[in-house]
Structure 1
């Protein structure tokens, strides 16, 4: 059975470690009252709290969150592509290539995968990724010119970017370090430094999940230094990097620094009229404001984050998972502000725009249990959402 909430797992791991609540609070640098409230399900475990406690207990954050949610994934049938992707990653530098189709077919396959991720069809992307990665290795081996080989390497970089996204969304974050190692390698074979920048930013996200915010921020700044130009792609990368810096800073409770990154991202996005798809960054004016609310939630005033987030008009071209994540954050903000009914409304908005991501995101389950703890009587709407999520209350 999948666990009910993170607090149960924390209490169990703490007892296995022979640690008192007071000792855990001291090692994680949180208050004793917060540790008690999370273990009892009265407070939602934030991502920062989970990272700090996981470090203190010497366990993987995924262990506390219970991810991946295998039973939930199984309800929609076998997760095609996962076992093969694991094999590809285990092969490392010795990936067994397969004969590639023509260059137009390779480009079309990559577009199909990126479109699936943009539209919250992550399972579809996972199904297609292993074959494409092997075909691209075949295309590199069979290239007739430097330009053909360079094109194949660039597409391989993009495929690894997509693989990292898919693994994170499906709850297999333990695979992302291997994916990023392969992305680092592929990026050394292309002239476009954008993929190396993407890899640094994605690794900063992985480090942030483990509480290493200082190292994560150093990678963000290193990536920003690698984007010197002002082309549309470089501007998107620069803006994306500033948004990553804002979240890492907020996770480290450095609000002033986070707001500085948001201000710079807002300046870059000001002349834009849409959300960019370049390098699949999804950077644009809408994403900046979504991140501004996330910063306020992580390091500022949850009440302001809730109100500002609820008032946002998300662009129609915003990626579905990005919009869904915003409403997930908005739900947590409302719950922290003492408004569980509004939190449930926000969760239903997340479900409407990105059902696959919402069903598999650990923060959604934490928020749901927080709503149940805060409500005097469990409403039909809450019970219905819990049943859809597959999370017992």
Structure 2
């Protein structure tokens, strides 16, 4: 059941391909995917996987968002989220003006608590609440840090910039997320915390992962490991190092290097055995559960859907695990189930992802393509799937 006549990733690929002067055969010759698959994606008979989109974006020299259509403005406007982006953009832009004379900052402990609350809201996928509160917290902590500089305040400011990155990514504003990571680096240097810098390199690596620049992503992971080595051996250092290996595993999977995937997962697993479930370390959700979740993600990227589902069967999500991470896991499972022809279970996984984190799922490109793929696989879609497709704007 193709989505004829409407705009989707396939039609955007066709438009950008023609603009760049490529025929379908010419483009197919430049990417590690078949000519027949490209035709089916462009005509709407198959969904565009993230790795296909990244490969095409790299060849055509365009941002991935030009092909995915992000941000999804109509849905953002319906959810009253689009109006919250400009204040965040302004807060990130005004970082170098120093203390705001109109602000009387509260005590450091209160400001640190506010920064933590914003991180918690993102993990709980309360994106509207986080986006609404973020600009004011950034301005107040910035003023406090300039008037009475301390490592604690600069670290709290770095945390708010990280939240700005997280919100921007989840809503599809990838240009803004890059600015937020630059600001995070600026504050992390002033906090004199190499582990904050390492977390920032991990997040930068995932930016390049989405754009199909896997070599750059691996270099950034290596830079992150170098920063961890500047700190004493500790549980926090091990958790950050382990998370860097997890990021490297999915990057290696996109690069189709299965041996490197397994090597990074093994290193991450050894760190996880040392630290346990480290959900308290830099909001990373690192631990044995996240290692299993990344094994699922990496095998989805390797297109080994049977192996992905085997790892998923071993998954036991802790009660205190981040809702955002759990929802993302169910999207990954749905992609594997859809590709394996298990449409009913894939639909259930997507509904679980939506139940856990409705705002995140609505704007998740992987969820949207999985829903599109399910609709295309069915001659007659059940009402539940129809409603789900309408909800994400398909």
The TM tier, using the shorter chain, reads over 0.9
1:222-261 paired onto structure 2 within 5 Å: 222-228=223-229, 229-261=232-264
Stretches of 4+ aligned residues off by more than 4 angstroms: none
307-316 vs 169-178, greater mean Cα deviation? 307-316
* Alpha-carbon shift at residue 271 of structure 1 (Å): 4.2
Q: What stretches of structure 1 of length at least 5 have no aligned partner?
A: none
CA contact (8 A) 1:303 1:336 kept: no
1:59-74 paired onto structure 2 within 5 Å: 59-74=62-77
245-254 vs 8-17, greater mean Cα deviation? 8-17
CA contact (8 A) 1:334 1:343 kept: yes
Partner of 1:122: 127
1:34 aligns with 2:30: no
Rounded Cα–Cα distance in structure 2 between residues aligned with 1:3 and 1:60? 21
- Per the alignment, do residues 36 and 291 of structure 1 end up closer, same or farther by CA in structure 2, a change over 3 Å counting? same
Q: What stretches of structure 2 of length at least 5 have no aligned partner?
A: none
What is the root-mean-square deviation of aligned Cα atoms in Å? 1.9
Rounded Cα–Cα distance in structure 1 between residues aligned with 2:66 and 2:41? 16
* Alpha-carbon shift at residue 285 of structure 1 (Å): 1.1
* Alpha-carbon shift at residue 286 of structure 1 (Å): 0.8
Partner of 1:319: 322
- Per the alignment, do residues 203 and 78 of structure 1 end up closer, same or farther by CA in structure 2, a change over 3 Å counting? closer
Partner of 2:381: 378
Q: Secondary structure at the match of 2:71?
A: coil
Partner of 1:149: 150
1:265 aligns with 2:268: yes
Rounded Cα–Cα distance in structure 2 between residues aligned with 1:36 and 1:156? 47
1:50 aligns with 2:44: no
TM-score relative to the length of structure 1: 0.93
* Alpha-carbon shift at residue 243 of structure 1 (Å): 0.5
Partner of 2:172: 171
Q: Secondary structure at the match of 1:188?
A: helix
Q: Secondary structure at the match of 2:228?
A: coil
Rounded Cα–Cα distance in structure 1 between residues aligned with 2:89 and 2:291? 34
CA contact (8 A) 1:184 1:199 kept: yes
CA contact (8 A) 2:277 2:285 kept: no
Equivalent residue in structure 1 for 2:279, among 276, 279, 301: 276
Rounded Cα–Cα distance in structure 2 between residues aligned with 1:78 and 1:10? 27
TM-score relative to the length of structure 2: 0.93
CA contact (8 A) 1:275 1:318 kept: no
Partner of 2:337: 334
